[in-house]
Structure 1
Amino acid sequence: MITPPSPSAAEHADGSSVRLGALVPLTRPGWVEAGRHLLAGLDLAVHEVNEAGGIDGRPLELLVRDTAADPERAAAAVDELAGLGVAAVVGEYHSVVARAAAARADALGVPFLCSSAVLDGLTEEPTEWVARLAPAQSRGWRIFADFLLSEGRHRIAVATQPSVYWASGTRVLRDHLAPHGGTVVELDANALAPEALCDALVEHNAAALLLLVGTPEPAVPIVRAVRGDRRLAELLIGAPAGQPEFAAWASALGEDGAGIPFLRYLPEHLGPLGERVAKELRERLGGAPSFVAFEGWDTVTVLASVLRSRGTDRPGIAGSWPRVAVEGTRGPIRFSRTPGIGVWQWTWAPLHVADRDPAAPDRFRVRHTG
C-alpha cells in the first residue's frame, strides 16, 4: 500500500518545471567513466522530452548530484532532492550506493527508478517506491557461470575486494557452478600483489580468473601481470561486472585488455530506436556509448511516459510501475515482481557475454547469450 509522502512534490515545486533528481558517480572513487555515460543518456533523453513539448507543456529539469560511490552521500542527496520537490529520483551505477539511495527513497516516499545497479537485495524489504532497469545480479552472473562451463572452465579463481556486491556475485557463481562440478577459490586482491596473485593461480591450477575488483586499480595491474606470466598463458580472464566495456580499459591495456569476457546489458543487435539514440550518444560522448548510456536514456524515457500519463504526484508515479509499457533502446520495457527481488524489476532486460576482439580491440564480440 502506497501512503502519501510528506512533504509532497507539488508543495515544493515552483511550477515552472518538472524536476527529476539524478544520482551519478562523477568523481573518484566512483567509476567516473560509467557516471559520464549514465549522465549523457539521462541528459539526452531530457533534451528530447523537452524538444517534444516537455511534460504537458512544462520542461523536464534534471538536478544532478555526484555520489562519488559513497552510500552516505547518496542518501543525503535523496534527502536534499526530496526537499527540492523532485517528482522522482533516477540513476546510480554502484550497487551499494543505489541500495542506500533506495532505502532513503523508500523511507521518504520518493519514487526511485534505478538505472544501472544490479544487486538483488536493493532493498531490505519489498517496496512499491523503487523500480529498476538493470537485470538482477543473480540472473546475469548465472549466465556468466553458464558461459564458463560452456568454455570448459570449472576451476575458477576470483580476485576480490571486500564489498557486498562482490560477495554476492561470488556466492551466485559458487552456487551455480557447484552442481556442475565447478569450484570457486577466493583470492584477496588487497592482500596479494599482482605477482603473488599469479603464483596463487598456478598453485590452485585455476582455469579462469574473474576480476571482482575496482578499475583501474587493482584490475589493470592484475591483467598486466597475468598476461605477462607464461605459466598462465591458457588462463581465461573474465570481468563479469563490465570493466572492459569502457574506452579507458582499452586505453590502459591495449591488446592485453582484449579477450576478457564481461556481461553487457544490450541485445545482440540494436533496433532502429537504439541505433538512432546510439548515434546521438556517440556525438555527445565523442566515442562509442556503453550500455550504461542506454540505461540512462531508457530511464528518463520511462519516467516521462509515466509523468505524462499519471502526473507528477509521487504516489501516482510509484503506483504506475506495474503499468509501464515503454519502447526503450534495448526493447520493450515492463516491470514485474521477480521472486527474491524486493523492487519492481525489468525482469528480461537483454544481456549477453561479450569481449573485445583481440584482432580489433575497439570491436566487441558476442561470446554467449542467456
Structure 2
Amino acid sequence: MAGVITPPPSSAAERTGRPSVRIGALAPLSRPGWVEAGRHLLAGLELAVREVNGGDGIAGRPVELVVRDSAADPARAAAAVDELAGLGVTALAGEYHSVVARAAAARADALGLPYLCSSAVLDALTDEPTEWVARLCPPQSRGWRLYADFLLDAGHRRIAVATQPSLYWASGVRLLREHLAPRGGTVTELDLGGAAPTAVCDDLLAQRATALLLLAGHPEPVVPVVRSVRRDRRLDGVLIGAPAGQPEFGGWASALGAEGAGVPFLRYLPERLGPLGARVETALRKRLGEAPSFVAFEGYDTITVLAEVLRSHGTDRARVAAAWPRVEAEGTRGRIGFSRVPGVSVWQWAGAPLQVADRDPAEPGRFRVLRAG
C-alpha cells in the first residue's frame, strides 16, 4: 500500500542519532474520501510533529509520522493498521470518516495498538468497550442533540433529512428522532439514491417541512440539492442544515458562494482560542494557504496529546494505552483529558468544545456561532 513518511526535521533530537519514535496516521487523502478534510487533518498532525521535533522530541528521539491514505475505505484502513503495526509504530492517530475510523479502531484493539482518534464521532467506535482507543472529538450523540435543540429553539419541528445509506447517517437520523419526538418534532427521510434535486424540492413541499438536513456526501449529491432548494421560491422559508460540518470547509464556499451561507453545522471549536490556539491558527493558515478548519486543530491536538503520553509513560504500546485516563495536555482548544462517558465505547475527551455555526449571509467568509454547548 502506498504511503508517506513525514521525516523529522533537523533538530536537537535528530542530531542525537537515536532511532525515531514512529506514529502511524490515517487520513482521507484521495477520493471518494473527503480530501479537503484529510488535508487539514494532516496539516495539523505534521505541524505538531515539527514542533515536537523542534524541541527535544521524545526523550531525545525524533518523531516520525507514517501516513496512510484511507480514501474513505474501511477495508483499506484496516489493512493500513495491520501494515503500520508491522512497521513498529508506537501508536496510531487520525482519521476523519466515522465508519473508516470504526474499522481502524477494531483492528487497533485486536492488535493491541494504541489509537487516538482525531475526528470521527460515532458513539460506538468499537463494538465493545476497549482500553486501546481514545478520542478527541465529541461523540455524535452529544453534538446532534445540541443541533436538535437548536432546531427546536428556532421553531422547527417538521424536519426532513436528505440521506444516503451509511451507518453514520443512519445513526444521525436515529439520534434526531429520539431527541425530537418527545418534544413534538418529526423526522422524515428523503432518499437521495436516485432522486433528482427537483424531486427533493417537491417532497419538501409535500411534507410541509420547515428544515432540510443534508445527511449525504459533499460535493455530490449535496451541492445540487442546495442549489435547487435555494432557487425554488416555494421553499424560501425552509432552513437548510448540515450537521456533519460540510460548510466549515473552503470547498463548500467555493462551490456554492452565497447560496451556501446560512446553513447551520456542527464544529468543534471554543468561542475564543487561547494563546496556543491563536499561535497554531497562524501557523496552520500559513501551511494550508487558507483558514484552518476545526479538523486541522484536531490533528495538532492529537500529536500534542500523544507526545505528552510518550514523554511521561514511554513508548511501550501497553503503557501508552494504560495512560489514557491519566494524561492531561494543553491543546489548542482547551485542557485535554480522557474519561469513560456513558454509551461511548472508548476513552473520551468529555470536555471537547462544541458549536452550531453558519456562514454569515451578509459575509459568507465569516462564521457566526449560533449555539454552544
In the superposition, the TM-score normalised over structure 2's length comes to 0.95
Query: Which letter does structure 1 place at the counterpart of 2:336?
Result: I
Q: Among 302, 313, 331, which residue is 1:299 paired with? A: 302
Counterpart residue number, 2:264: 261
> In the alignment, which residue of structure 2 is the partner of 1:139?
142
Query: 1-side partners of 2:32 and 2:249: how far apart?
Result: 16
Distance 2:58 2:42 in 1: 20
The answer as to 2:43 corresponding to 1:68 is no
Q: How far apart are 1:15 and its partner, in Å?
A: 5.6
- 2 CA distance for matches of 1:190 and 1:330? 38
Matched AA of 1:28: R
**In structure 2, what is the equivalent of residue 332 of structure 1?**
335
Letter in 1 for 2:341: T
Matching of residue 217 in structure 1 with residue 220 in structure 2: yes
Aligned positions of 1:235-314 closer than 5 A: 235-314=238-317
After superposition, residues 17-32 of structure 1 pair within 5 angstroms as: 17-32=20-35
C-alpha distance in 1, partners of 2:220/2:295? 21
Q: What residue in structure 2 maps to residue 10 of structure 1?
A: none
**Aligned partners of 2:372 and 2:270: how far apart in 1?**
9
Q: Which amino acid aligns with 2:144?
A: W
Residue 183 of structure 2 aligns with which residue?
180
Q: Deviations over 1:258-300 (max 9, x none)?
A: 0000001001111111100000000000010000000000000
Residue in structure 1 matched with residue 12 of structure 2 by the alignment: none
CA distance in 2 between partners of 1:200 and 1:256 (Å): 20
Partner amino acid, structure 2, of 1:310 = H
* 2:347 counterpart of 1:347: no
Mapping for residues 102-117 of structure 1, pairs under 5 Å: 102-117=105-120
- Cα shift at 1:79: 0.2
Asked if the contact 2:22–2:63 (Cα under 8 Å) also holds between the matched residues in 1, the reply is yes
The aligned counterpart of 1:5 is: none
Identity %: 74
Structure 2 residues without counterparts, runs of 5 or longer: 1-16
SS at match of 1:327: strand
Query: Residue by residue, what CA displacement relative to the aligned partner does 1:176-233 show, whole Å, maximum 9, x if unpaired?
Result: 0011100000000113110001000000000100000000000100000000000100
Query: Contact (CA 8 Å) 2:21, 2:62: kept in 1 or not?
Result: yes
For residue 88 of structure 1, the aligned residue among 88, 91, 94 is 91
Aligned residue identity for 1:282: R
CA distance in 2, matches of 1:15, 1:52: 15
SS at match of 1:68: coil
How many angstroms does 1:53 deviate by? Answer: 1.3
Question: Is 2:139 the partner of 1:123?
Answer: no
SS of 2:359's equivalent in the other structure is: strand
More displaced stretch, 15-24 vs 70-79:
15-24
Q: Which runs of 5+ in 1 are unaligned?
A: 1-13
What stretches of structure 1 move > 2 A for 4+ residues in a row? none
**Matched residue count:** 357
Instruction: In structure 1, give the amino acid aligned to 2:142.
Output: R
**Distance in 2 (alpha carbons) for counterparts of 1:253 and 1:291:** 20
Equivalent residues in 2 for 1:133-212 (5 A)? 133-212=136-215
Q: Measure how far apart 1:133 and its partner are.
A: 0.2
1:44 equivalent in structure 2: 47
Q: Which residue of 1 aligns with 2:14?
A: none
Could you tell me how far apart the structure 1 residues matched to 2:55 and 2:263 are? 41
**CA shift digits 1:116-141 (9 cap, x unpaired):** 00001100000000000010000000
Which secondary structure state, in structure 1, belongs to the residue aligned with residue 22 of structure 2?
A: strand
Q: Secondary structure at the match of 2:71?
A: coil
- 1:161 partner amino acid: Q
Q: What's the Cα RMSD here? A: 0.8
Distance in 2 (alpha carbons) for counterparts of 1:309 and 1:327: 14
The aligned counterpart of 1:8 is none
Take 1:289 and 1:125, find their aligned partners in 2: how far apart are those partners?
Answer: 34
